[in-house]
A and B are shown apart, each in its own frame.
Chain A
Amino acid sequence: MEETKTKGSRYGMVVDLDRCTGCGMCTVACAVENNIPPARPSATERTGITWMRVSEVESNESFPATQSVFIPMSCQQCEDEPPCVSVCPQNAVEVDPSTGIVAQIPERCLGCRYCMTACPYHARYFNWWDPKWPEGMENTLNPDVSVRMRGVVEKCNFCHGRLHEAKQKAAAEGRKNLLPGEYVPACVETCPTQAILFGDLADAESDVAKAARSESAFRFLSRIGTEPKVYYRSTKAWVRRLSEHDLARTKKEELHG
């Protein structure tokens, strides 16, 4: 495993693509946890907000040999100079040195969307509309997460509210450190096939660090050197080869090149 560059923890995850069934649990669990509103009728894949988005990617073979893989894609929590950090004129993106988590601070964001352009993983989302839920449904919002307004960018922050809650619990119990498994994002908790491992990559003995070191592990667009802390695993060679592709290709591009 690579040398730890931040002090303290380096939270990261390993997604086992051979286990992912594309059920969408992680996507909706994330939306519930982080108070992401339902789509407006005119919203599309491009304008909707899904911090954890699962895409079905097909192999190049045609019927009946086509194979599919479901790829959950959230903020990749880049470690080395995250592109979104360096382009933000407002300091609205910060890397927490104690956790390694790339945080988006909506209060500072002026909505220039440079970070969205800079993000190679298309993992950032812009609030094109003020958040709106059907009447009464605002009573189901998570009180640990604030609701963002129109005109700001947002993205996955590994359920920061849960980290705070876990830290508060640890402090109340007189502990300085979190117990293994005490803090997990909503997507990890709800995945029915346990396809997502989460933990501290800085702890070489943790399950997540071991999984990240496994032979079948890889990271998307590793060639650009952003050192994501989100790893993927697959035993299928064609899936591993996807890691160097740009996943933002549209269906049209896929079909016609």
Chain B
Amino acid sequence: MSFTRRDLLKVAGGSAAGILLTPVPWKLLDDVAIWTQNGPWIPRPPRGDVSTRFSTCTLCPAGCGLRVKLVGNHPVSVSPVPNHPRRSSLCPAGLLAHHMVYHPLRMKAPARIASRDDRVDAEAVSLQEVLTAITSAISASDQEGQVAVLDQRPGRAQSTLLKRFVSAQKNGVYLTPPSDENVTAHALNAIMTSPIGSLGFDIEHARSIVSFGAPVLEDSSILQQQMAMKGGERIRVTQVESGRSRSAVLADRWIPIKPGTEAAFAMGLAHVLIADKMYDRSFVERLSTDFSTYRQLASRFTPERAAEITGTSADAVVGTARELGKRTPSIVVAGSADGGSPHQADEARAIWGLNFLLGNIGRTGGIVRRREESFEEAGRTFVLPASRDLASTPDHSIRLLLIDSSAGEATIPWSLVEKKLIPEKSLVVSFSPILSGIAAKSNFIIPTPTHLESTADVATPFGATLPSYALSSPLYQPPTGVVKCEDVLNALTPSTGTVEEEMKRRVGAIHKTGRGKVFKFKDGSFVETRTISSPDELQQSLLDGALWLDSPRPTGARPRFSFLEEGVNGFNRMLTACEKSGNGQGGSYLQALVLMGMPAGLSSPLMTKVYQESNLRQTAQVVLVHPETAGSGMDEGSTVVVETAKGSLRMTAHLDRSVKPGVLQVTTGPDPVGFIPQGFQQKEGVLSLVEVAEDGTWKSTHAVLRKV
């Protein structure tokens, strides 16, 4: 049998047809699809052994535990530490903490900052050039307070170094940014005739909370507590503030008062509590020095009068007060979201004073005494300067301002800082890992390690009921060109010391007390501090991932207190604070500017998921406004100009029927434009429009909204 040409064609044709019935062509097609989708331009995930390490988040003072998954040496994900005594969950920023080292605005060399209009340019300079400029400014200072350090995260080991640096300067002053922490501490110390030391707010054990602007529900711990309560019992939260913050959205009741009328609302509550005899009579009569005067003042603020001033209803005043009085233990707290102004001193006194009226001092679910953080003081052989609020510093008094933003920064208006500087003669140097916020307004930036790049400590968060201490161990090597703040301080003043020495001293002091226990992240176990053999062992535990928690303080005597400042002046001051009608109530063209938002600085580029790729959070370029306020000529998405006495900004209007009429609700950040690395338009945003009052607050600003 011969094999003909025809047979050859048959075999070839048959083979070609038959091969289609085999997996080969489909496998080839599949492979081609995969190869073409995995070109060199597509990023490849890292390869290597998978391991887990523990650390502590330093992005905010809460100090949450971090469980970090590494592939090779690269952290690839972060998850919360289960059963962590402070928080067993994270916030989105904490979940993305391992991204900060790659932030597009990361600075890797000292730089001179030049701002022209909205544009910010950073020109690399040598560290020596910056040191020379600082030394010259120190030499030129000839009056007290001219050499200032602004510590954006007080309480750390590095804060002690900053204080030591200040105390070595002839004209040094240690400053902290205006904050609700400062205002609250001041108010409570002013109310109590003899200070009883550190205080904590036991809000997690309260049955009802009235919050004057404090972001109590931004943090999930209250909600978790609510859900854990049995038998239909839950913490009821009333949020009193003009803006519709996330806490206002989630609260059981939101009372949208006019901005700046918190004191009047508080006094309205006091009126009802006294009139209905729902206050702690024996506590108040035994320990108050001025109850009759206070009662006289409160009598002026009937629910109707309080409602008139605050723009709410008398029912809201009465209902809130009765819940406070009946649903005990109850607590009243004050605060503000990021970018919001701290309360004014008299407002804070009026608000926190309600806790004294309710007898909420030294009992569960109220304001409790906390042990002093002796580890910060113990074993110290040097004297540290007192801290001062930036707002209380005289205007035009600072020649050299060193701003430590290495651990993050408070969101405050630059105008507040600027007015403290000597015009034309001042020098501002920021320690910051990124070119953002206040650092972008400085003359020089010294780039510092960012989160998880150096060992850092987290001391007790403000308002916590138990002192705590944790160490954050590094997961990354800082890049070349990055300088530790302590190296600069020691180059300027050799005796400043190091963060490591200070942390060791603090850990040694904790170990010496033998108090409390250590929570280990790895296995969730608690170890008594007294069973740990040495300070080095305790330090190693903390570095491996652990939290030291002090033991509760025995209940002490309750303090004597005065609701008002002593003398007739106190009555009149509080009366004036309550009678002021606040902004936003007037004509149709003036509105109040309310700041709300998320930290504009150190946030991962992946946060675009919540503010740019969804409507979960508004960007700094959006103004939320009630359609009634916007008027008929303005539509959803209209380009508008928000104008105040300080300037104007072009924004996009979002019409929202849930916003209080008359209020322009604007967030402080983040700004998507901020992630463009070179030659970006660094705008201060809405903070550039606010009017800062003499006391350093910026609660509300008259503004006009115009359509472009």
Binding site for B on A (CB under 8 A): 19, 21-25, 27-29, 31-33, 35-36, 38-39, 41, 43-45, 48-50, 53-56, 58, 61-64, 66, 68, 70, 106-108, 130-143, 145-149, 152, 189-194, 250-252, 255-256
Q: What residues of A have a CB within 8 angstroms of the CB of B656 in the complex?
A: 58, 251
Residue in contact with A64 in the complex, picked from B80, B254, B606, B655, CB distance below 8 Å? B254
Q: Are A44 and B612 in contact (CB under 8 A)?
A: yes
Q: Are A23 and B220 in contact (CB under 8 A)?
A: yes
A194: nearest chain-B partner, CB-CB: B227
Q: Are B616 and A133 in contact (CB under 8 A)?
A: no
- B217 contacts the other chain (Cβ, under 8 Å)? yes
A54: nearest chain-B partner, CB-CB: B616
Q: Are A136 and B101 in contact (CB under 8 A)?
A: yes
Q: In the complex, what distance in Å separates the CA atom of A106 from the CA atom of B102?
A: 28
Q: Are B607 and A28 in contact (CB under 8 A)?
A: yes
Q: What residues of B have a CB within 8 angstroms of the CB of A54 in the complex?
A: 610, 614, 616
Please count the residue pairs between chain A and chain B whose beta carbons lie under 8 angstroms apart in the complex: 216
Q: What residues of A have a CB within 8 angstroms of the CB of B586 in the complex?
A: none
Q: Would you give the 0/1 interface string for B661-702, flagging 1 where the beta carbon is closer than 8 Å to chain A?
A: 100000000001101110000000000000000000000000
> Beyond A27-B616, A131-B43, A193-B224, is A106–B95 a contact (Cβ under 8 Å)?
no
- B322 contacts the other chain (Cβ, under 8 Å)? no
- B617 contacts the other chain (Cβ, under 8 Å)? yes
Residue in contact with B79 in the complex, picked from A138, A190, A252, CB distance below 8 Å? A190
Q: How far is the CB of A121 from chain B (nearest CB, A)?
A: 14
Q: How far is the CB of B131 from chain A (nearest CB, A)?
A: 29
Q: What residues of B have a CB within 8 angstroms of the CB of A62 in the complex?
A: 626, 657-658
Q: Are B223 and A68 in contact (CB under 8 A)?
A: no
> Beyond A25-B91, A138-B45, A192-B220, is A32–B246 a contact (Cβ under 8 Å)?
no
Q: Are A140 and B76 in contact (CB under 8 A)?
A: yes
Q: In the complex, what distance in Å separates the CA atom of A2 from the CA atom of B34?
A: 39
> Beyond A63-B661, A192-B90, is A149–B37 a contact (Cβ under 8 Å)?
yes
User: Nearest 9 CB-CB pairs, A to B?
Assistant: A48-B613, A192-B89, A66-B658, A141-B45, A138-B43, A39-B608, A192-B220, A137-B102, A24-B610
> Beyond A41-B673, A192-B89, A192-B224, is A24–B627 a contact (Cβ under 8 Å)?
no
Q: In the complex, what distance in Å separates the CA atom of A56 from the CA atom of B254?
A: 17
Q: In the complex, what distance in Å separates the CA atom of A161 from the CA atom of B193?
A: 61
B220: nearest chain-A partner, CB-CB: A192
User: Which applies to chain A's interface (DSSP): helix, strand, loop or mixed?
Assistant: loop
Q: Are A53 and B614 in contact (CB under 8 A)?
A: yes
Q: How far is the CB of B155 from chain A (nearest CB, A)?
A: 25
Q: In the complex, what distance in Å separates the CA atom of A131 from the CA atom of B607?
A: 16
Q: In the complex, what distance in Å separates the CA atom of A63 from the CA atom of B605?
A: 34
Q: Are A140 and B99 in contact (CB under 8 A)?
A: yes
Q: What residues of B have a CB within 8 angstroms of the CB of A142 in the complex?
A: 45, 76-77
Q: How far is the CB of A192 from chain B (nearest CB, A)?
A: 3
B598: nearest chain-A partner, CB-CB: A24
- B85 contacts the other chain (Cβ, under 8 Å)? no
Q: Are A107 and B37 in contact (CB under 8 A)?
A: yes
Q: What residues of A have a CB within 8 angstroms of the CB of B604 in the complex?
A: 28, 38
Q: Which of B39, B609, B615, B661 has the most CB of A within 10 A?
A: B609
B48: nearest chain-A partner, CB-CB: A143
Q: Are B43 and A45 in contact (CB under 8 A)?
A: no
Q: Are B612 and A66 in contact (CB under 8 A)?
A: no
Q: How far is the CB of B69 from chain A (nearest CB, A)?
A: 9
Q: What residues of A have a CB within 8 angstroms of the CB of B30 in the complex?
A: 107
**In the complex, given contacts A38-B606, A139-B76, A189-B79, what are 8 additional A-B residue pairs having Cβ atoms less than 8 angstroms apart?**
A21-B250, A38-B605, A56-B616, A70-B616, A134-B102, A139-B102, A143-B47, A256-B636
Residue in contact with B609 in the complex, picked from A19, A48, A70, A108, CB distance below 8 Å? A48
Chain B contacts with A in 609-666, Cβ cutoff 8 A: 609-610, 612-617, 626-627, 635-637, 654-661
Q: How far is the CB of A16 from chain B (nearest CB, A)?
A: 9
- B33 contacts the other chain (Cβ, under 8 Å)? yes
- B343 contacts the other chain (Cβ, under 8 Å)? no
Q: In the complex, what distance in Å separates the CA atom of A147 from the CA atom of B677?
A: 24
